[in-house]
Amino acid sequence: MRGEAASAHVGVLVVGGGPAGLAPLLAASARGLLPELLSHGLVVVERSDRIGDGRLGGYVINSDSSAQTFLSCLSGQHDSRIADLASHPVALEIARFGGETVPLALVGTLLRLVGAALADIIAEAPAGRVMTGYEAVGTRERADGRWATRLRRLADGEITEIVSRTIVIATGGQQSDSWLVRTQIGGQPLLPAYGDRLLHSDHAMTEDGLADIARRLSAVPAPKVAVIGGASSAIACLRVLLEPDRLPPDAAITLMHRSRLTLFYPSAEAAMADGYTAFGLDDICPVSGFVFRFGGLRFDSRSLARQLLGLDADAADARLHLHPLQSADGVVTHEMAEAWGHDRRVLDQADLIVCCVGYRPRGLPIRDVDGSPLPLAMHRPGGVLAGPGCEVLDAADEPVDGLFAIGLAAGFRPGKAMGGEPSFRGQINGLWLWQNDTGLLLAERLLAILRLQPDLAMAIRPAADDGEQRGIAAA
Ligand SMILES: Cc1cc2nc3c(=O)[nH]c(=O)nc-3n(C[C@H](O)[C@H](O)[C@H](O)COP(=O)(O)OP(=O)(O)OC[C@H]3O[C@@H](n4cnc5c(N)ncnc54)[C@H](O)[C@@H]3O)c2cc1C
């Protein structure tokens, strides 16, 4: 069977069954739209052995959104299999954290339960199927405007082809080494100079990553760790490194940051009362009045940043040091060259360098009708995978018909109506938004396309007897 492609036709193929891939389905379910979406034929393909939590549950840190935001996806649900999860012990445990931060491992357990409930609902639909243990290797546009996506079963390499009118790419984000090659710190790129000492924060914040750190530093007396970055991942890494018994008392941890540490406050008055004055009018959301509404550190990270900035009566751990980085842009002055020398010394002396440098979309290889790779906006440095309506953008920033994307690093930027501080230049990667406004927008866009082509569901034969092929028959 290896190498042979069976194929099936559906309305929607969701590639990636993590939190973002399931978000439009949850949003649709809360509005009673999921049955209609499923009636057009829907397949979720997921590389791992389950849908629901993606990478989120594997991080050993606390959330940077409140516990209650993770529970909101259970309210207003039409299907009792999802709604009833609100009284599950895991949901009740999360509820106890209320408006506070919550361990992401616990959130992951909840998302796995939600994923299992959705998997049941999808599998029950005559033309629905969840394909775990498969990875999408690429998609190609067909002459009829549909997309032919090749899936590889990880267990044996068997190839299946899914033909769909639409695709939701929810493959998450990744921290790539190319950033380390491109970005200069101390006047030189991190790679290849510090190759064997570098670690991506995404790995550092997992159990495997912690074991890796312990292994690398176990035989090092008075270890020195440099953490590069100034946003929430960097501060979260500091917190992980400061946990009891992680590093010895004579260790040194240096935060090397280019951007200033920005803190969330509910109002400018609250910020001033706290002694925090490093903000201007552009940093205040005109809708809510919040300071650094989108770009500000929250919860645990905010507490540590307050200590680092001297705003807290309790001083930060004595092993922690701040090291502002010099910009690598512009004309190199004598002062800058000196500062770069200083930056390099910190890196040269570090036994471990944790890079918290943001994420790029993982995406999916896409070919046009002729079989040529389709150049996308995301292939440009800093380019996004998806536009504000979740549509995948080509190299000319035009939507690619039938292709959508959602999730970590996909590119969602807040519009004016949403507010937020005008100075914010980043993306919003919040589960709540995906499960509500963005997810609903995406579900409605899918339905708008599928309603014009009611023949799609006809292309799927009734469920086969064997559970494995449920809902999809090879065409
Ligand atoms: C450290 C960290 C902390 C965060 N904390 C919060 C928080 O507190 N609150 C919040 O709202 N958000 C948070 N986020 C943002 C966001 O909610 C998470 O990153 C979330 O895991 C993103 O979900 P995702 O589905 O986009 O990606 P992922 O979680 O990476 O899921 C992608 C899924 O797609 C699958 N996949 C990938 N490629 C393929 C393929 N080719 N074929 C088949 N399957 C594929 C993967 O196996 C995976 O299951 C955090 C992000 C990070 C990095």
Where is the domain boundary, 316, 334, 355? 355
Residue 255 placed within a domain: yes
The pLDDT of residue 328: 58
191, 318: one domain? yes
The pLDDT of residue 8: 77
Residue 189 CA to residue 254 CA, distance in Å, equals 18
328, 380: one domain? no
85, 219: one domain? no
- Identify the band that residue 230 occupies on the pLDDT scale cut at 50, 70 and 90: very high
Residue 379 CA to residue 360 CA, distance in Å, equals 10
335, 364: one domain? no
Q: pLDDT averaged over the chain?
A: 91
Rounded to the nearest angstrom, the distance between the alpha carbon of 312 and the centre of ligand 1 is 33
**Is a pLDDT exceeding 50 seen at residue 472?**
no
pLDDT tens string 146-177: 999 999 999 999 999 999 999 999 999 999 89
- Identify the band that residue 427 occupies on the pLDDT scale cut at 50, 70 and 90: confident
Residues 318-322: what's their mean pLDDT?
96
Tell me how far the alpha carbon of residue 273 is from its chain's centroid. Answer: 34
- Identify the band that residue 455 occupies on the pLDDT scale cut at 50, 70 and 90: low
Tell me how far the alpha carbon of residue 186 is from its chain's centroid. Answer: 29
**Is a pLDDT exceeding 60 seen at residue 457?**
no
**Is a pLDDT exceeding 70 seen at residue 226?**
yes
Query: What 8-state DSSP symbol labels residue 48?
Result: S
Residue 102 placed within a domain: yes
181, 170: one domain? no
Atom of ligand 1 nearest to the CA of 408: 26
CATH at residue 418 = 3.50.50.60
In this predicted structure, which of 105-119, 209-223, 295-309, 330-344 has the lowest mean pLDDT?
Answer: 330-344
Torsion over CA of 230, 236, 239 and 245, rounded to 10 degrees?
A: -120
**Residue from 429, 432, 434, 437 whose mutation best tests the ligand 1 pocket (most atoms within 8 A of CB):** 429
Residue 288 placed within a domain: no
CATH at residue 198 = 3.50.50
Residue nearest to atom 12 of ligand 1 (CA): 430
Ligand 1 neighbourhood includes 15 CB (under 6 angstroms)? yes
Ligand 1 neighbourhood includes 225 CB (under 6 angstroms)? no
> Would you state the structure tokens that stand for residue 362, as one six-digit string?
């993982």
Residues 322-326: what's their mean pLDDT?
90
101, 223: one domain? no
55, 190: one domain? no
Atom of ligand 1 nearest to the CA of 410: 26
Decide if 203 contacts 360 (C-beta within 8 A).
Answer: no
Residue nearest to atom 51 of ligand 1 (CA): 56
pLDDT tens string 31-89: 999 999 999 999 999 999 999 999 999 999 999 999 999 999 999 998 999 999 999 99
Rounded to the nearest angstrom, the distance between the alpha carbon of 272 and the centre of ligand 1 is 35
Q: Range of 82's domain?
A: 5-174+360-463
Residue 42 placed within a domain: yes
435, 454: one domain? yes
Residue 162 placed within a domain: yes
Atom of ligand 1 nearest to the CA of 431: 11
Ligand 1 neighbourhood includes 45 CB (under 6 angstroms)? yes
pLDDT tens string 336-391: 888 899 999 999 999 999 999 889 999 999 999 999 999 999 999 889 999 989 99
Atom of ligand 1 nearest to the CA of 56: 21
Residue 286 placed within a domain: no
**Is a pLDDT exceeding 50 seen at residue 314?**
yes
Ligand 1 neighbourhood includes 301 CB (under 6 angstroms)? no
Ligand 1 neighbourhood includes 316 CB (under 6 angstroms)? no
Ligand 1 neighbourhood includes 363 CB (under 6 angstroms)? no
Tell me how far the alpha carbon of residue 408 is from its chain's centroid. Answer: 3
376, 455: one domain? yes
390, 348: one domain? no
> Would you state the structure tokens that stand for residue 369, as one six-digit string?
């009708």
| Residue-by-residue DSSP string for 95-144 | HTTTTS--BHHHHHHHHHHHHHHHHHHHHHSTTEEEEETEEEEEEEE-TT
**Is a pLDDT exceeding 80 seen at residue 2?**
no
Ligand 1 neighbourhood includes 64 CB (under 6 angstroms)? yes
The pLDDT of residue 402: 97
* 389 Cβ neighbours under 8 A, 6+ residues apart: 399, 441, 445
**Is a pLDDT exceeding 50 seen at residue 1?**
no
Residue type at position 158: E
- Identify the band that residue 130 occupies on the pLDDT scale cut at 50, 70 and 90: very high
Query: What 8-state DSSP symbol labels residue 180?
Result: H
> Would you state the structure tokens that stand for residue 174, as one six-digit string?
């990744």
160, 181: one domain? no
Residue 114 placed within a domain: yes
Residue 247 Ramachandran class (φ > 0 left, ψ -120 to 50 alpha, else beta): beta
Residue 344 CA to residue 103 CA, distance in Å, equals 35
Rounded to the nearest angstrom, the distance between the alpha carbon of 434 and the centre of ligand 1 is 12
Percent of the chain with pLDDT over 70: 93
Query: What 8-state DSSP symbol labels residue 317?
Result: P
The pLDDT of residue 179: 85
Q: Which position has the token pair 């979309």?
A: 361
Where is the domain boundary, 338, 355, 372? 355
C-alpha distances (whole Å) from 286 to each of 61, 270, 291, 416 are 31, 16, 10, 10
123, 207: one domain? no
Ligand 1 neighbourhood includes 115 CB (under 6 angstroms)? no
The pLDDT of residue 347: 97
The pLDDT of residue 259: 86
Our count of domains for the chain comes to 2
Residue 392 placed within a domain: yes
